[in-house]
Amino acid sequence: MEEKTIFELQLHERQTVRFANSTYFEIMRVSGGWIYELNSGSGNTKTVSAVFVPFDRELDLNNITIS
């Protein structure tokens, strides 16, 4: 199964990007952009941070033309 790009995610669909340790990103498609959630640590020391990343047409890789 091929991974989707963030542009192909459906509303409220999530994609997880894992790192070597217990740290990972969850990217969720929301209206107007994405929420990037960073999860790190484990057990009693788990940390979660989130940021909204707005959609911008300049980022749409499907509409880029190379001259």
Q: Where are the domains of the chain?
A: 1-49
**pLDDT profile of the chain (67 residues), mean per 10:** 83 91 91 93 82 81 53
d(CA 21, CA 6): 23
Question: What's the pTM?
Answer: 0.73
pLDDT at 57: 73
Could you tell me the two tokens for 19? 């790192």
pLDDT at 5: 85
pLDDT at 27: 94
d(CA 40, CA 27): 14
Phi, psi dihedral angles at 55 (to 5 degrees) = -75, 140
